[in-house]
Amino acid sequence: MDTFLALMNGMAIAVQPHNLLFALIGVMLGTAVGVLPGIGPALTVALLLPVTYKLDPGGSLIMFAGIYYGGMYGGSTTAILINTPGESASMATALEGNKMAKAGRGGPALATAAIGSFVAGTFATIGLAFLAPWLVDIALKFGPEDYFALMCVAFVTVSATFGASPVRGLTSLFIGLALGLVGIDKLTGQARLTFGIPELLDGIEITTLAVGLFAIGEALYVAARRHLEEDKVEAIRGSLWMTAQDWKRSWAPWLRGTLFGFPIGALPAGGAEIPTFLSYSVEKRLTKHPEEFGRGAIEGVAGPEAANNASAAGTLVPLLTLGLPTSATAAMMLAGFQQYGFNPGPLLFAEKPELVWGLIASLFIANTMLLVLNLPLVGLWVRLLSIPRPWLYGGILVFAVTGTIAAKPSAVELTMLGAFGLLGFLMRRFDYPIAPVVVGLILGPIAEAQLRRALQISLGDPMVLVESPMSATLLAIAFVALVAPYALKGLRKMGATED
Amino acid sequence: MQSDQQHHVDYAGLAIGVGLLLLAAIIGFDTANLELSPTYGVGPKAMPIIVGSGLALLALANRVLAWRGGFPQRETFDAAALLLILGGLAALIGIIMLGGGFIPAIAVLFATTSAAFGRRAFITDLVIGLVLGFVVYLLFSKLLSLGLPTGPLERLM
């Protein structure tokens, strides 16, 4: 009941005209960048951070959340119309959606994606609203050792468990952790890894890292392999409306997708890939039209799209209640909170209820706006795809450096931006995941602070980490998550030799 | 039997291992120069030691990955495009540091990036870049009241 009341209060804040405006700007921007290849919601939030730090915090955060949701919508449009999914979570959508578009059923594909996203986003946001207070109650009892253990879980799951290769994910994470060491140690005032460069004393800016890795790294990567492939945009032919048959085939996949997406997104596990692929394979098994799969089955668009959006809402659960970002976009949103001096977590719910609940309530509004705006405007979004690539990337680079110049106009900062861009290029080329670097930079210093606080209270006794039942359990989970991929691989090998 | 696959040494992959080891060594040297703090528990050295050791281990793991041919096959890449963008970025830094101002620096970056993506109209793109820089400058300095570096061009406004 308290939750309901808090949500109503939040709604009263979210419908204030200026907050509505921020939500509208957010979903429009989010959709636009989601549609454009090469820039995702994480980068957009990163680009906007330096620009918005003088604006109203509540409104800016509402805008960031709108970008997050909008990016998911836009990504599916690109996946359906040009078979190059903007993010890996849209891969499943591209499988069936692009086939539908080629067969002249692009309209219904876009419609089921949009309505499915709305259904999933709404249910998942309700889930968020009711799960959050409950998690906050638990989190309030956490000691520093429990937080440290929780971050270990996040580190492992974000980098090792679900990536293609745990070694690569962990390498990315440790590069991020190493970058997080740079600067003055807050407890003793000693400078670490600054090499006498005064600009480094404050540490490495999250936005510089994120913009370098995402914007410049992506531009370098796309430019360097431009000669290899050419995109082809499918025109939307036929009606945008779904037939009665389409509705009948879509509603169950929407709900099942939500059930996959939300819990997996809410676990500190990161990534929307798992639930989307789970949903895809389940729909493939349950469908009455198995012959259509691989040739444009509407279930294969409806389910994964719902899963994708539900998991995006799910990642907001650990972000808001525990301060744990489990995806690149969530990491950038955490940076957004920090820019205004807020630390997401249980205390924020107590200290700034209007901010948190206003944000949660605005998610419902953003979701509705997306449904209303996107279907009629889909032609407009598609026209964005016709911006010539040279100008598009030229523009991306201009905005990337402008943000950095406005925040910290120094040669050191801009050189770092370029260096991170090169790092991003190399990581893409050698198939290292990017998100763990950003998560490592943000969470590394927090994890260190919690660890040192825990050991200070225990007078240096490391046993404190395993004596708290919560911390012991979490560390055990982290350990299992770290070795599980190897153990599973070993089992599979054994099974294979027996055959 | 996977081990029968042909072993071709991936030198770029090996270089990654060396790079990580180098990073670990830098962290090690830097940490060795820190003073011990008199606080209880762990001081500022603990985390660098954890991260440094982790990186050293991962350097090894990446070496193994490279030996096994665990890295993806790389496609050929267009080094000229890469150099154009990075060169544009370097030019931007140079122009701003020498007091040339924000707008010309942005114009150069826009034009080189555009060229990296295959356009052969450098002068036109330079002009577009100037206009874009002008608009962004107005937006940031007047609307968002964020300071951007000024040069002769900006001082005219």
CB pairs under 8 A between A and B: 208
Residues forming a β-bridge with A184: A191
Question: Which pLDDT band holds residue B107 (cuts at 50, 70, 90)?
Answer: very high
The pLDDT of residue B79 is above 70: yes
Residue B103 confidence (pLDDT): 94
Q: Cβ–Cβ of B41/A181 closer than 8 Å?
A: no
Residue A256 confidence (pLDDT): 92
* Helix, strand, coil abundance in chain A, percent, nearest 5: 75, 0, 20
In A340-379, the residues whose Cβ lies within 8 Å of chain B are none
CA dihedral A192, A198, A199, A204 (to 10 degrees): 10
Domain chopping of chain B, boundaries = 2-67, 79-155
3-state secondary structure B105-131: HHHHHHHHHHHHCCCCCHHHHHHHHHH
Q: CB of A289 within 8 Å of any CB in chain B? A: no
> Domain range for residue A39?
2-498
Reported for B103-107, long-range contacts at CB under 8 A and 24+ positions apart, including other chains, are: B103/B130, B103/B133, B103/B134, B103/B137, B103/B151, B103/B153, B103/B154, B104/B130, B104/B133, B104/B151, B104/B153, B105/B133, B105/B149, B106/A398, B106/A401, B106/A402, B106/B130, B106/B132, B106/B133, B106/B136, B107/B132, B107/B133
Eight-state DSSP code of residue A196:
T
Residue A124 confidence (pLDDT): 92
Residues of chain A with confidence (pLDDT) below 70:
1, 38, 84-88, 161-164, 229-232, 236-238, 268-271, 488-499
A478 to chain B, closest Cα gap in Å: 16
Whether A327 and A271 have beta carbons less than 8 Å apart is answered as: yes
The ipTM estimated for the assembled molecules is 0.90
Beta A183-184 vs A191-192: how paired, if at all? Answer: antiparallel
Rounded-to-integer distance, Cα A285 and Cα B135, Å: 54
Residues of chain A contacting residue B87, judged by C-beta atoms under 8 Å apart: none
Residue A497 confidence (pLDDT): 44
Residue A363 confidence (pLDDT): 92
E strands, B42-105, are: none
Q: Cβ–Cβ of B62/A187 closer than 8 Å?
A: no
Between A216, A226, A399, which is nearest B117 by CB? A226
Residue B111 confidence (pLDDT): 96
B56 to chain A, closest Cα gap in Å: 10
Give the residue from A200, A169, A243, A177 showing the smallest Cα distance to A434: A169
Q: Cβ–Cβ of A225/B109 closer than 8 Å?
A: no
Residues of chain A contacting residue B71, judged by C-beta atoms under 8 Å apart: 430-431
Residue A87 confidence (pLDDT): 63
Residue B5 confidence (pLDDT): 46
Q: Cβ–Cβ of B136/A401 closer than 8 Å?
A: no
